[in-house]
């Protein structure tokens, strides 16, 4: 870990391990949501419109050309959804028939699963609640095959307010609970205004000298704010991705309605807030790099994102105008710069997943517009050459008829197994559960102070041996496992997720119901931490995990 991280830990080598019987009275908890998902087919939900923006129906596989990284690939599956129902497709030309997408039957309705993500960390209560009430007012648009789930994020944890439900009264109650949650946008606004006040003060006392537009470095306080903002946005992006993974496999079309309080796409430019400065600040994520974890997860799981601009352009006079030199404002260009940065993020994640950004007044029509957009489309599947190398691939779908426009996801990530497991562990950290996760009994020692800001905690956990993949080795049996530990502190700092190999050796095959004891230690910042310990069996794909809170 680098010194800038707010949470860090260093696993200590330990030995293997005495066998122990299972603890009594401990029933493994049932998973709340999520399931194992192995993506072999990449699905594209494709909206085709004419020059007037109206949906175009009746197209066939031969009307499309699919390329991945510039190379044409065949369309393996094809179904049209028209008005919410699957439509039988005429046989393709030249005698080649493209089968329908599995589990879609012609003439039967295709439901839509709407996952609503409520960003409490960046939003203002007034604006957030208006959008939530508008969604509640449009719940009657849900069809018999549709469903909705609602989650909220407060900067540290995700909370599920409703699992998948088609009950309007139940969803209305969940949306009212969302309104009752604290909204922390005023704190984010206070952080921004403090920076603006510092910028003005430094300029007034001459601490900020005239600079060349090509001098793209931030001042000290600007850099501090940009790093803070990068961490905050990164955490929110990770939380939204974890929410998708927690609700990975609902039936039908999958839509994320992302209620965002403003995630700047470029923290450095947002901090500088000056059109005349071209930023070249090293070490800060920006643009697609900052938002790709959400885009990659949505594209992998087949979610279309509709990014909803919760604050809107009407800032109620609470922007930086009163803190900025009028000579530099140029009629509100600074406020426009920051608004544009936040809206760009919504446009990016929506465009890359085949959705639409709903900005300004459109935010009060979020469910209505998402519902209308997902009633008529084409569902196209193809099978790429999977390598598991974490490479991103560009997908382009062209309509061969003139005058038509197509909207679909723009790519996919060929995720490695290692990345998938780390993301599953992160989902447990943020959501308290995850796909294919089983309990891990654990004991926590008393935290010991290492230095003014660091504490050391001893951990001992029991690895269930049932279900592990054992192979003959040296006259006995052995298994190779992976240990991952993730930490999130109360200030929002998140650790990297290291991978520590574990080899267990046994003279004979363990009897059913046995455990192996493993001991290690972690170093954490001396504040309250949420910690997830996970043991992964690569051969079976099973994760044994425990989530715990550790404080000085």
Element of type H or E holding 499: strand 499-506
From 194-198, 281-285, 292-296, 502-506, the region with the lowest mean pLDDT: 281-285
C-alpha–C-alpha distance, residues 449 and 454, integer Å: 6
Assess contact for 511 and 439: CB atoms under 8 A.
Answer: no
> pLDDT confidence of 331, banded at 50, 70, 90?
very low
Q: What is the pLDDT of residue 432?
A: 59
Q: State pLDDT tens for residues 117-145.
A: 999 999 999 999 999 999 999 999 998 89
Q: State pLDDT tens for residues 33-47.
A: 333 334 478 889 999
Kindly tell me if the per-residue pLDDT of 315 is higher than 70: no
Kindly tell me if the per-residue pLDDT of 417 is higher than 90: no
Element of type H or E holding 366: helix 366-373
Q: What is the pLDDT of residue 348?
A: 94
As a whole number, mean pLDDT of residues 357-366 equals 91
CB-based contacts of 385: which residues, under 8 Å, 6+ apart?
none
Q: What is the pLDDT of residue 149?
A: 94
Q: What is the pLDDT of residue 486?
A: 82
As a whole number, mean pLDDT of residues 181-194 equals 88
Q: What is the pLDDT of residue 278?
A: 66
User: Smallest Cα–Cα separation from 45: which of 70, 78, 94?
Assistant: 78
Kindly tell me if the per-residue pLDDT of 368 is higher than 80: yes
Assess contact for 171 and 139: CB atoms under 8 A.
Answer: yes
Q: Where on the phi/psi map is residue 135: left (φ > 0), alpha (ψ -120 to 50), or beta?
A: alpha
> pLDDT confidence of 116, banded at 50, 70, 90?
very high
Assess contact for 340 and 327: CB atoms under 8 A.
Answer: no
Secondary structure in 3-state letters for 2-56: CCCCCCCCCCCCCCCCCEECCCCCCCCCCCCCCCCCCCCCEEEEEEEECCCCCEC
Bridge-based pairing state of the strands 19-20 and 112-119: unpaired
Assess contact for 353 and 298: CB atoms under 8 A.
Answer: yes
Sign of torsion over alpha carbons 200, 201, 204, 209: negative
Q: Report in angstroms the alpha-carbon separations of 485 from 4, 73, 98, 305, 453.
A: 19, 40, 45, 30, 20
Element of type H or E holding 288: helix 288-301
Q: What percent of the chain has pLDDT over 90?
A: 31
CATH architecture label of 19-31+438-550: Sandwich (2.60)
From 175-179, 292-296, 526-530, 540-544, the region with the lowest mean pLDDT: 540-544
Q: Sheet containing 391-399: which strands, arranged edge to edge? A: 71-72, 64-68, 391-399, 411-414
Task: Return the higher-pLDDT residue of 382 and 497.
Answer: 382
> pLDDT confidence of 358, banded at 50, 70, 90?
very high
Average pLDDT of the chain to the nearest whole number: 80
Q: What percent of the chain has pLDDT over 70?
A: 80
Q: What is the pLDDT of residue 43?
A: 85
C-alpha–C-alpha distance, residues 408 and 350, integer Å: 10
**How is residue 328 written in tokens?**
């530099």
> pLDDT confidence of 208, banded at 50, 70, 90?
low
Q: What is the pLDDT of residue 199?
A: 76
Q: Using alpha carbons only, how large is the chain's radius of gyration in Å?
A: 25
**How is residue 402 written in tokens?**
């003139």
Q: What is the pLDDT of residue 56?
A: 92
As a whole number, mean pLDDT of residues 382-395 equals 87
**How is residue 438 written in tokens?**
């089983």
Kindly tell me if the per-residue pLDDT of 214 is higher than 80: no
Q: Where on the phi/psi map is residue 262: left (φ > 0), alpha (ψ -120 to 50), or beta?
A: left
Assess contact for 206 and 180: CB atoms under 8 A.
Answer: no
Q: What is the pLDDT of residue 109?
A: 87
CB-based contacts of 172: which residues, under 8 Å, 6+ apart?
136, 139
Angle between helices 220-246 and 185-204 (to 10 degrees): 160
The SS3 call for residue 137 is helix
Could you state, in order of their start, the residue ranges of all structural domains in the chain?
19-31+438-550, 47-68+77-434
The SS3 call for residue 264 is coil
Q: What is the pLDDT of residue 30?
A: 30
Please state the φ and ψ torsions of residue 40, each to the nearest 5 degrees: -110, -35
Fold for 47-68+77-434, please state it.
Answer: Rossmann fold (3.40.50)
Stated pTM of the model: 0.76
Highest averaged pLDDT of the listed ranges 154-158, 246-250, 400-404: 400-404
From 67-81, 147-161, 319-333, 518-532, the region with the lowest mean pLDDT: 319-333
Q: State pLDDT tens for residues 433-449.
A: 555 678 889 999 999 99
């Amino acid at each position: 870990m680098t010194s800038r991280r707010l949470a860090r830990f260093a696993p200590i080598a330990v030995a293997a391990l005495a066998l122990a019987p299972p603890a009594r009275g401990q029933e493994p908890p049932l998973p709340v949501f999520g399931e194992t998902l192995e993506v072999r087919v990449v699905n594209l939900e494709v909206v085709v419109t004419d020059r007037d923006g109206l949906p175009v129906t009746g197209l066939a596989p031969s009307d499309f050309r699919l390329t991945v990284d510039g190379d044409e690939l065949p369309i393996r599956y094809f179904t049209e959804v028209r008005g919410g129902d699957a439509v039988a497709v005429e046989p393709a030309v030249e005698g080649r028939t493209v089968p329908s997408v599995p589990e879609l039957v012609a003439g039967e309705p295709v439901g839509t699963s709407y996952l609503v993500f409520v960003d409490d960390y960046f939003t203002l209560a007034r604006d957030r609640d208006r959008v939530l009430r508008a969604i509640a007012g449009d719940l009657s648009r849900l069809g018999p095959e549709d469903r909705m789930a609602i989650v909220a994020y407060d900067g540290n944890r995700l909370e599920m307010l409703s699992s998948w439900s088609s009950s309007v009264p139940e969803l209305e109650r969940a949306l009212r609970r969302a309104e009752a949650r604290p909204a922390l946008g005023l704190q984010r606004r206070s952080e921004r205004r403090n920076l603006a006040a510092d910028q003005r003060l430094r300029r007034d006392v001459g601490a900020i000298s005239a600079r060349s537009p090509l001098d793209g470095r931030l001042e000290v306080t600007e850099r501090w704010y940009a790093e803070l903002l990068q961490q905050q946005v990164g955490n929110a992006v990770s939380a939204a991705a974890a929410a998708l993974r927690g609700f990975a496999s609902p039936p039908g079309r999958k839509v994320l309605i992302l209620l965002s309080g403003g995630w700047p796409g470029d923290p450095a430019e947002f901090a500088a807030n000056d059109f005349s400065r071209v930023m070249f600040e090293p070490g800060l994520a920006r643009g697609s790099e900052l938002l790709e974890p959400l885009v990659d997860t949505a594209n992998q799981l087949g979610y279309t994102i509709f990014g909803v601009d919760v604050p809107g352009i009407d800032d109620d006079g609470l922007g930086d105008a009163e803190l900025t030199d009028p000579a530099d404002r140029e009629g509100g260009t600074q406020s426009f710069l920051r608004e544009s940065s936040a809206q760009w993020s919504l446009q990016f994640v929506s465009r890359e997943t085949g959705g639409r950004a709903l900005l300004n007044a459109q935010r009060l029509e979020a469910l209505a517009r998402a519902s209308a957009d997902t009633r008529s489309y084409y569902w196209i599947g193809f099978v790429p050459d999977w390598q598991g190398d974490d490479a991103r691939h560009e997908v382009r779908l062209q309509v061969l008829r003139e005058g038509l426009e197509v909207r679909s996801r723009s790519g996919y990530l060929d995720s490695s197994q290692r990345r998938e497991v780390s993301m599953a562990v992160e989902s447990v950290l943020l959501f308290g559960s995850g796909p294919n996760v089983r309990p891990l009994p654990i004991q926590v020692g008393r935290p010991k102070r290492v230095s003014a800001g660091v504490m050391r905690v001893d951990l001992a956990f029991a690895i269930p041996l049932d279900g592990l993949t054992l192979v003959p080795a040296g006259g006995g049996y052995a298994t190779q496992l992976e240990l991952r530990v993730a930490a999130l502190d109360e200030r929002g700092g998140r650790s990297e997720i290291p991978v520590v190999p574990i080899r267990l050796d046994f003279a004979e095959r363990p009897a059913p119901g046995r455990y192996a004891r493993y001991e290690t230690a972690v170093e954490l910042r001396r504040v309250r931490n949420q910690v997830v310990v996970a043991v992964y069996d690569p051969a079976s794909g099973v994760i044994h995990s425990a989530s715990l809170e550790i404080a000085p």
